[in-house]
Amino acid sequence: MNIKKNITLTLFYFSLMLVFTKTSFSQGGSNYSILGFGDINQVISASYEGLAGTAIAIPSSNSINIINPALISLVTDTRLQVGYNFNQNIVTTANSNLWQNNGGVNGINALFALDTTAKVSVALGLIPASKVNYLVAKSFVVPYNNGELHGKSLYKGSGGLSSLYLALGANVVDNLYLGANVFGNFGSINYNNTISYLEDYTFTNTFNQQDYFSGFGYKFGLFYQFPSNFNIGAYYSNYGSIKIDRVKSYSSDLLKDTTFTESLNVNPPSSFGVGISYQTGKFLIGADWKVLNISNLNYGFSLDNKFKNSTETSIGVIRFGNTMPGTNYADRITYRFGAGYNALYYEIANTNINEINLSVGASFPIGYSGLLDVAAIFGQRGTTNNGLLNEYYGKLMIDFSIGEGWFHPYKREY
């Protein structure tokens, strides 16, 4: 299959995903995404989500690593990759439960292996940096003139931040790999609150806030391979400047819409992480520790919650498929397993919100250079203590990628 056919096939799959996203999933997601920037994506592609997000020191010859840019130089061919994810949430309180789901495109990425001998690669792509998708309804009673008014308050939020990035990775000396990327943050988050009453003589009030984001950030990464099949990696990322252009509107059944605009700057978060891995035979085991410095975030704050630095710990195991010609297809499949623990970046009613998850994934070869990566993640976050929410969730992530050798090594004379 030539590269023009490959590109056409990739765009076809991408178009199907867009249509599926717009027509099928609109109910809602994690209600904890009402806080801050929402759910922040530390890892994107299905191949690493199958390891519960373990990615910092996990080398791959065919997966584009978004977490550690130093690892893109180990990809052996030029690749195009598009992903999709579906999320199912079961939100429970002390008295009830609610099923909510959503889905969306999980990034579009391209990697160009400029020189596979010197191991120099460039990658670029568009990825979701955070996701807001919640739906909360509360009933209330208000005393009024020796009687009561009965109403409902509906909170809805959607959107998130996206990042457009450009990365460079290279093998600089012996077994040391370095990488860096720059990225632009953009996107919008919409918040809507509608208060309605059941009585005939009352009216509905609506508040809507639309925040538009812009800014630039950067990331550095390194990766070192020891002769004993032991690897170590690290990265540092700074979200840089983040500007918000905000539009607020108030409306009711009795009054005309009132709109206000303002601009503000957000204290940018930063993150860093270290990872290790060890390979023996067909198996590789790795572990990551990531920190998100976000305690001084001045966005989405309320008196009932505060932000704190987040930590994430994960471990993953890979069983590599056999790449030899004539191998049984089942033995060519690469299998992945992982487990993780995340102390999330918000505290509500003096209660820390934590998350645990388990994952399983596989890479299915398609033809000569195609690859279908699938990952399923199951987890739990939150608690029903202090009137809070407990969430069980499942995620299904699918990546399709194709590769081809665009830049071939040339003879070097020394």
Whether 139 maps to a domain, the answer reads no
Q: State the average pLDDT over residues 374-378.
A: 96
Whether 157 maps to a domain, the answer reads no
**Nearest Cα to 276, choosing from 268, 288, 261, 294?**
288
Q: State the average pLDDT over residues 378-397.
A: 90
Whether 142 maps to a domain, the answer reads no
Residues above pLDDT 90, as percent of the chain = 54
pLDDT classification of 106: cutoffs 50, 70, 90: confident
| pLDDT score recorded for residue 320 | 94
Q: Which tens digit of pLDDT belongs to each residue from 156-170?
A: 999 999 999 999 999
Cα torsion 330, 332, 333, 335: sign: positive
- Print the domain residue range for 82: 3-127+163-189+199-404
Whether 353 maps to a domain, the answer reads yes
Whether 149 maps to a domain, the answer reads no
Q: Is the confidence at residue 386, as pLDDT, over 90?
A: no
Residue 210's domain is classified under what CATH number? 2.40.160.60
Split into its structural domains, the chain has a count of 1
Q: Which tens digit of pLDDT belongs to each residue from 305-336?
A: 789 999 999 999 999 998 787 788 889 999 99
DSSP annotation string for 204-260: -EEEEEEEEEEEEEEEEEEEEE-TTSEEEEEEEEEEEEEEEEEEEEEEESSS--EEE
Whether 156 maps to a domain, the answer reads no
Task: Pick the more confident residue, 164 or 302.
Answer: 164
Task: Pick the more confident residue, 181 or 101.
Answer: 181
What gap in Å lies between CA 150 and CA 147, rounded to an integer? 10
| pLDDT score recorded for residue 81 | 93
Whether 412 maps to a domain, the answer reads no
Q: Which tens digit of pLDDT belongs to each residue from 336-345?
A: 999 999 999 9
Between the ranges 126-130, 198-202, 325-329, where is the mean pLDDT highest? 126-130
Whether 254 maps to a domain, the answer reads yes
What gap in Å lies between CA 362 and CA 320, rounded to an integer? 10
Q: Is the confidence at residue 19, as pLDDT, over 80?
A: no
pLDDT classification of 28: cutoffs 50, 70, 90: low
Q: Is the confidence at residue 155, as pLDDT, over 70?
A: yes
Q: Which tens digit of pLDDT belongs to each residue from 207-234?
A: 999 999 999 999 999 999 998 899 999 9
| pLDDT score recorded for residue 407 | 57
